[in-house]
Amino acid sequence: MAGSSWVPLHCGSTTPSSEQPQQETMCLEMVAAGSYQTMVAHPDGSGRLFLATRDGRVLLASQGSGAALRLHDDGARPFLDLAGRVHHDADLGLGLMGIAFHREFATSGRFFVSYTCESASPTCGSAGTCSAGAGNNGLPCLYQLVVAEFCAEGEPGDYSMATHAYPSEVRRVFTMGLPSSYQQNGGQILFPPMDADSYYLHLIVGHGGGVRDLSKGPYYGKIVRFDVDSSSTPNTEQLEIVAMGLALSSPRGCSFDSQRPSDLYCANVDEVYDNTYTRSKAGKHGGSSADEAAGSIIISHGRRPADAVAPSMVGGLVYRGSADPSLVGRYLYIYGSVALAAMETPGSGGLYSSSPIPDIKCSRRTPLPCPGGDGIGVGGRVLSWGEDNGNEAFVLATDGVVPSRRA
C-alpha cells in the first residue's frame, strides 16, 4: 500500500519491537519446498536469487514480500543443468559445491560453479595424481574438484534478464584431485561483497583427511583465491592462499560480512582438534601487513568425545537485515540442533560469546506452512545459510527454504 511502512515486530506479537524489551528473536517464513544445497542473491540487486541442488542443477527464483519463491524453470529446464557431469554423494560430501556470480553479471553474463566429478568420466578432465600427503599413496584420484566459468544466454552487454545459461564451460579455472579419504571437505566458492576493494573468487578446501599442512601446497585445508578478471586461466603461481594457518579440516559454510567485506567467517568440524568457527581477513598469505590474511578462532565448542556422534555444524552469516533488529550485527550459526547468535566480547582478544536464540517462530504471514523440526523451527536438516539483496537471512534445509521475516 502506498505510503505505508513496515514496523518490526517480535515474532507472534502485535506490539512494535520499540515498545518491547529487546530480546533475541527470529521470525521465519516457509517460501519453498524441496532441498537446495546453496543460495546466492542475483547480482542485479533485485529480489531474485539462485538456488542450487547437490545433483548439479541451478535454478533462478523470484521472491516478493510475503510470497513463496517462484522458480523460472520452464517446467523442465533449469537455469543451468550439470547433472550429467556432476558426481554427487551426500555421504562423501560430493556434488555441486558452490555457485558465485560476478558483480558485473548483468553486462558480462559471467558466473562460476564448483563441483566434483569422476576422474574416469570424459567430461571431468585430467585425472592427475593426488598430491603428496593427501592420503592416497600416490594413486590416481577417483574424483576431481573443479571450478569452472560459465556464461548466461542473452544479448551481449545485457544479461540482467537471462533465464538460462550455456551448459558448456567458458574456461576451467581450477582442478584438483580428491583422495579416497576425502569426505565432507568443502568446495564452496564465493566472492566478497560487490563493493569490496579486492574482488577475488575464493575457494574453501578441507584437508581431506590428511595431516594438517601449513605450507603453501598442496591446497588441502586452505582457502584459495583467484583473480578471475585476468585475461588467462590462473596457473599455480597466480593462485593465492588465504588464511593458511587455519588448517581447515571439514569446512561447513563460509560467508563474508556484507558490511565488512574483508571479514570472512567459516565453520569447521575437526575430529582431532576443536569444532570451531573462525574469522579471517581476506588477503594474501605472506604479504605485507596491509594484505596479509589474519585468521583466528572466534568460537570453540570443544572436542567431541570419541564415542559421541559428531554434532551438526553449519556456518552462518553476520546478520545485517531489518526483519529481526535484535540480531543485527550478530553472527548466526547452527550447532547441534540449536540456532545461536554470537558477538565479539569486548576485551577478549577477538573471541565471541554466543547464546541460543530463544524465540524462533513461524511468521503469521508465511506463504507456506512452516514445518517444525530440528529444534529451530524448520523442517529437516539444515544444509546452509543464504542472504538476499536485502541482507535478510535464509535457512536452507532438507525440507525447504526459510528466510527471516517480520512477524
Every domain of the chain and the residues it spans: 22-403
Instruction: Select, from the ranges 54-63, 101-110, 295-304, 319-328, the one with the highest average predicted confidence (pLDDT).
Output: 101-110
Pick the more confident residue, 368 or 138: 368
Residue 21: pLDDT over 70 = no
> Which residues contact residue 64 at a Cβ distance below 8 angstroms, ignoring those fewer than 6 apart?
47
Residue 175: pLDDT over 80 = yes
Helix (H) or strand (E) segment spanning residue 107: helix 105-108
Residue type at position 81? D
Tell me which of 65-79, 133-147, 235-249, 295-309 is least confident.
Answer: 235-249
Tell me which of 75-84, 135-144, 172-181, 367-376 is least confident.
Answer: 367-376
- The mean pLDDT value for 273-297 works out to 58
- The phi and psi torsions of 204 (rounded to 5 degrees) equal -100, 120
Torsion angle, alpha carbons of 185, 225, 220, 318, to 10: -40
- The mean pLDDT value for 223-247 works out to 71
> Which residues contact residue 231 at a Cβ distance below 8 angstroms, ignoring those fewer than 6 apart?
none
Pick the more confident residue, 345 or 308: 345
> Which residues contact residue 102 at a Cβ distance below 8 angstroms, ignoring those fewer than 6 apart?
43, 108, 110, 111, 112, 191, 228
| Residue 5, pLDDT score | 26
| Residue 289, pLDDT score | 35
Detail the DSSP E strand segments found in 270-373: 276-281, 295-300, 313-318, 331-335, 338-344, 352-356, 359-362
Distance separating alpha carbons of residues 129 and 407, to the nearest angstrom: 54
| Residue 186, pLDDT score | 82
The residues facing 27 across adjacent strands are 361
Tell me which of 218-232, 291-305, 324-338 is least confident.
Answer: 291-305
| Cell representation of residue 397 | 534445509
| Residue 167, pLDDT score | 95
pLDDT interval class at 187 (50, 70, 90): very high
Instruction: Select, from the ranges 8-12, 235-239, 402-406, the one with the highest average predicted confidence (pLDDT).
Output: 402-406
pLDDT interval class at 136 (50, 70, 90): low
- The mean pLDDT value for 9-13 works out to 40
- The mean pLDDT value for 375-393 works out to 79
| Residue 294, pLDDT score | 55
Contacts 24+ apart (CB under 8 A), 162-168: 162/109, 163/60, 163/72, 163/74, 163/79, 164/77, 164/79, 164/80, 165/58, 165/79, 165/80, 165/109, 165/111, 167/80, 167/81, 167/82
Which CATH number fits the domain 22-403, given the four candidates 1.10.10.60, 3.20.20.80, 3.30.70.3270, 2.120.10.30?
A: 2.120.10.30
pLDDT interval class at 197 (50, 70, 90): confident
- The mean pLDDT value for 294-303 works out to 77
> Which residues contact residue 381 at a Cβ distance below 8 angstroms, ignoring those fewer than 6 apart?
312, 374, 397, 398
pLDDT interval class at 246 (50, 70, 90): low
- The mean pLDDT value for 216-239 works out to 73
**Which pLDDT tens digit goes with each residue over 88-120?**
988 788 999 999 999 999 999 999 999 999 988
Pick the more confident residue, 274 or 192: 192
Pick the more confident residue, 237 or 225: 225
Distance separating alpha carbons of residues 2 and 185, to the nearest angstrom: 49
